[in-house]
């Protein structure tokens, strides 16, 4: 099983650190490490900026820390970009766009249960990047198909590099924008969006999955051909548990769930402790058990993580680091209580 379960630990990639070594140390403290994204260290380390490398039409202003799109520039550059489609290195993340990624790839990660990478997904990238008319490029019927294929190629190239460091590597497609998909879009209904996302994941090598911190249409998301789904269960657990039938189908297909339970924001973290977070998870799992999902099977297909990433705490990286430590402690406790091997 390329993606392990049994309540091992991982986390999402965006971290508030300005010190690369410290951020990597924290990522490596978890069972399934990843390469951190550090936008406070450099704007190039921002998840949207990293995804934008070589994308035609992009206008990146490092001084103002802005990322925009020009339709005219896209039309003039798209043919040149397509000429590079058979060059894997064109779609990889360069040293300029991530120091951290290349430091991670230089490490010996072969003995880890798995390792993980990530890239911003087409929905979120397409919502966040706007053209000269302040219109998201996801709405552009010309740009959107290119966007899906471009990001799929980027994900595949990164996954291949990670698998050379560890055969159990897998990828998160970060999609915070999925929760806004239908409320914000015009002329792009759920049927078209689902077909596009199925096509997108069909272009991505396995194992592949989605991470998001919001509250989307869970039926829509769980029906996609994913191997792993990472979510903020701390905020959305009660709603998520109400989709037991879709969750059951996802697990039966071999899917893995990442239960984001430990808050990384200062105020909610200070209100919680080990007992309260363990109890919240237990309540969700009991609810799913009452709906017919076998507990032992569920936990064998589960990982534990922080609830979200966080860049805005008044104490910088301190609460985030405490949350990482709590994730490890919570995982150890729950594995012991449920007789699971590490």
* Predicted confidence (pLDDT) per residue in 101-117, tens digit: 999 999 999 999 999 99
Above 80 in pLDDT, residue 295? yes
**DSSP classification of residue 11:** -
Q: What is the pLDDT of residues 165-194, one digit of tens each?
A: 999 999 999 998 887 776 666 566 677 778
Q: What is the pLDDT of residues 67-80, one digit of tens each?
A: 999 999 999 999 99
> What's the CATH architecture for 8-337?
Alpha-Beta Barrel (3.20)
Q: What is the pLDDT of residues 245-264, one digit of tens each?
A: 999 999 999 999 999 999 99
Domain parsing of the chain, residue ranges: 8-337
Q: What is the pTM of this model?
A: 0.95
Above 90 in pLDDT, residue 50? yes
CB neighbour burial string for 39-73, b if at least 16 within 10 angstroms, e if fewer? bbbbbbbbbbbbbbbbbbbbebeeeeeebbbebeb
Q: What is the pLDDT of residues 315-324, one digit of tens each?
A: 999 999 999 9
Give the pLDDT score at 186. 57
| Model confidence band, residue 274 (pLDDT cutoffs 50, 70, 90) | very high
Structure tokens at 139: 């709405």
| Closest to 6 (Cα-Cα) out of 337, 335, 336 | 335
Q: Where are the beta strands (DSSP E) in the chain?
A: 8-9, 58-61, 66-69, 116-120, 170-174, 208-212, 228-232, 256-262, 302-306
Please tell me whether residue 119 adopts helix, strand or coil conformation. Answer: strand
């Amino acid at each position: 099983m390329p993606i392990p379960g049994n309540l091992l630990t991982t986390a999402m990639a965006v971290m508030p650190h300005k010190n690369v070594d410290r951020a990597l140390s924290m990522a490596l403290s978890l069972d399934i490490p990843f390469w951190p994204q550090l936008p406070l260290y450099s704007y190039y380390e921002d998840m949207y900026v990293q995804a934008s490398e070589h994308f035609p039409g992009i206008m990146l202003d490092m001084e103002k820390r802005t990322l925009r799109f020009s339709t005219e520039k896209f039309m003039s550059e798209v043919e040149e970009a397509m000429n590079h489609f058979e060059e894997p290195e064109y779609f990889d993340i360069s040293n300029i766009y991530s120091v951290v990624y290349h430091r991670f790839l230089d490490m010996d990660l072969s003995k880890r249960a798995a390792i993980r990478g990530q890239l911003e997904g087409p929905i979120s990238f397409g919502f966040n990047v706007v053209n000269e008319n302040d219109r998201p490029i996801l709405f552009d019927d010309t740009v959107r198909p290119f966007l899906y294929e471009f990001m799929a190629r980027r994900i595949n190239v990164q996954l291949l590099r990670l698998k050379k460091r560890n055969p159990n590597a897998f990828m998160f497609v970060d999609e915070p924008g999925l929760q806004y998909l239908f409320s914000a879009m015009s002329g792009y209904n759920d049927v078209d969006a689902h077909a596009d996302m199925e096509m997108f994941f069909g272009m991505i090598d396995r194992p592949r999955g989605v991470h998001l911190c919001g509250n989307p249409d869970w039926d829509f998301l769980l029906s996609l051909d994913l191997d792993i789904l990472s979510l903020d269960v701390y905020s959305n657990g009660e709603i998520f548990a109400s989709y037991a039938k879709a969750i059951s189908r996802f697990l039966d297909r071999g899917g893995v769930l990442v239960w984001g339970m430990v808050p990384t924001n200062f105020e909610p973290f200070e209100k919680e402790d080990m007992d309260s977070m363990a109890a919240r998870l237990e309540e969700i799992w009991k609810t799913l058990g009452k709906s017919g999902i076998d507990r032992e099977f569920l936990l064998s297909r589960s990982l534990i993580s922080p609830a979200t990433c966080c860049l805005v705490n008044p104490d910088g990286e301190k609460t985030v680091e405490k949350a990482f430590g709590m994730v490890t402690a919570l995982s150890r406790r729950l594995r012991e209580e449920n007789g699971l091997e590490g």
